[in-house]
Structure 1
Amino acid sequence: MNASLFDPDYADAVLRASPSFDERRDGKAADILLLHYTGLRDGASAEDWLCDPQSSVSCHYIVHEDGRVVQMVAEAARAWHAGVSVWQGETDINSHSIGIEIVNGGHDHGMPDFPEKQIDAVIALARDIVGRNAIAPARVLAHSDVAPGRKADPGEKFPWARFAAAGIGHWVEPAPLGGGRYLTMGEAGQPVEALQSMLALYGYGIEVNGVFNGATATVVTAFQRHFRPQRVDGVADVSTIDTLHRLLAALPQFRKGQNSAAG
């Protein structure tokens, strides 16, 4: 597959081909949309890096702050953007995903807000991708979801609720912050095991061992960053657990089971 020989999959994209790609493995098709921030100071540097053969990284698309969309890898090909990652037991996320890099300095550069024009462009692109590839809402993910601890993008300022309102992604309104029982480092027992089981059922890579250890706190942090961004601290408070429970209950497979039981 020649990097320079493909037409844009998205009509509003311009092409700048990256040499860093290969074929999706074992006949896998894209069923995940993975969102990133670039984490560099400016979009030009990020785009150059993603197209530099020395970097060995790439992404299917980059969306600049002014809304410009650049496609670097054909959607049919396997871009190198996810790195070491896991979701629902699958470790080759690159073969399963289409990746969008969103120009933003990220946590290392003050976590700036995403401009409106940029978010509008990402929504339009994402809607087109999920429609053409039949990607389920719960498979629209953050890089931090599939690589907790290692990655934090696109970060807690990313407007997931706005995407859900546009029909992209799986979302419930986060439960309000408050008091009550919480789970944190050093605790053990059935409540911790139940929390880990729910996180694993949703898709996170987590060992279900009943011990609230550093790995569990890392996954809770990733969950909060996406689904309960008002406070990202790795503590499984009532708000976090309730939000997770309602996300699971809203998944089609669980709604179907509930409706069958009710009938």
Structure 2
Amino acid sequence: MAEEVSFQADYRKARVRPSPNFGERRDGISPDTVILHYTGMATAKGAEDWLCDTRSQVSSHYLVYEDGATVQMVPEKARAWHAGKSYWQGETDLNSRSVGIEIVNPGHDFGYTDFPDAQIDAVIDLCRDIMARWSIPVERVLAHSDIAPSRKIDPGEKFPWRRLGEAGVAFFVEPSTCEGGEVLSPGDEGEAVAQFQRDLACVGYGISVTGTYDAETGIVTKAFQRRFRPAKVDGMADAATMETLRWVIQKLR
């Protein structure tokens, strides 16, 4: 286990509280991704203490409180332990190539709440600072649920991606509101399902193209909905979900 070391904050507005839970980035990789989480714990203090506890084996580079106060726990040049088993656009070990930001929120298990304006303002400012330092593009600002959809649902459907998109620190597409049309759901098979799976993979999600709307497809669909079409997170590929997915691909290209 790495020893706790003192360091100066990379982000000048942050208070430093070093966590012992970190290591070296694999193969000298520099950060090219920002991953956003919520803490999902009953209290903010409990979350900060846990991220700095050797027993937890977890950490993050930053923690942002509801009032916007920001704590840095791991230097950006180091590998924090926040992403876990992960995948995005063919890459694994997202810990080695990302900066992790934990955002204080009780999460779905403890009374999921809206994110206060002051907190989101601070997240935007922090993201802008990190992205400028490491030349990270907006499409590489991701949700924890994007890179680990079978395990994680944070920062969840209430997270205001629109605000981050308008501020130029996240990739945002206006979600479709269309109704009717074809719906793909569990058990469906065929080329339409395979194309939907290919489209999710094109965005970056880890999904097998089987042509069968299996459990994995439903899970990844929920992750996509939380991130891009949060009005209804049900794992069904309705017309609005599929149209939003097409728009995301078009904008990425």
The corresponding residue for 2:103 is 102
Instruction: Give the CA deviation at 1:88.
Output: 1.0
Contact 1:39 1:106 survives alignment (8 Å)? yes
Contact 1:61 1:73 survives alignment (8 Å)? yes
Looking at structure 2, the residues matched to 69 and 185 of structure 1 have their Cα atoms a distance apart, in angstroms, of 42
Instruction: Give unmatched runs, 5+ long, in structure 1.
Output: 255-263
Instruction: Give the CA deviation at 1:89.
Output: 1.6
Instruction: Give the CA deviation at 1:116.
Output: 1.1
What percent identity do the matched residue pairs reach? 56
Looking at structure 1, the residues matched to 160 and 209 of structure 2 have their Cα atoms a distance apart, in angstroms, of 30
Aligned-CA RMSD value: 1.0
Q: Cα deviation per residue 1:112-156 (whole Å; 9 max; x = unaligned)?
A: 111111111111101111111111111110000001031000000
Name the SS for the 1:73 alignment partner.
coil
The corresponding residue for 2:177 is 176
Contact 1:149 1:218 survives alignment (8 Å)? yes
Instruction: Give the CA deviation at 1:5.
Output: 3.0
Name the SS for the 2:109 alignment partner.
helix
The corresponding residue for 1:259 is none
Q: Cα deviation per residue 1:91-119 (whole Å; 9 max; x = unaligned)?
A: 10100110000000010012111111111
Instruction: Give the CA deviation at 1:42.
Output: 1.1
Name the SS for the 1:107 alignment partner.
coil
Q: Cα deviation per residue 1:195-243 (whole Å; 9 max; x = unaligned)?
A: 1101111100000111110000000000000000000000011111111
Q: Cα deviation per residue 1:66-104 (whole Å; 9 max; x = unaligned)?
A: 110000000000000001111112110100110000000
Once the two structures are superposed, the pairs formed by residues 203-222 of structure 1 within 5 Å of their partners are 203-222=204-223
Aligned AA for 1:126?
Answer: C
What stretches of structure 1 move > 2 A for 4+ residues in a row? 1-5
TM-score normalised to the size of structure 1? 0.94
Q: Cα deviation per residue 1:1-33 (whole Å; 9 max; x = unaligned)?
A: 763232100010010000000000012111110
Contact 1:180 1:237 survives alignment (8 Å)? yes
Q: Is residue 12 of structure 1 aligned with residue 13 of structure 2?
A: yes
Once the two structures are superposed, the pairs formed by residues 45-56 of structure 1 within 5 Å of their partners are 45-56=46-57
The corresponding residue for 2:24 is 23
Aligned length: 252
TM-score normalised to the size of structure 2? 0.97
The corresponding residue for 1:80 is 81
The corresponding residue for 2:161 is 160
Name the SS for the 2:236 alignment partner.
coil
Instruction: Give unmatched runs, 5+ long, in structure 2.
Output: none
Name the SS for the 1:174 alignment partner.
coil
Name the SS for the 1:98 alignment partner.
strand
The corresponding residue for 1:59 is 60
Looking at structure 1, the residues matched to 218 and 171 of structure 2 have their Cα atoms a distance apart, in angstroms, of 22
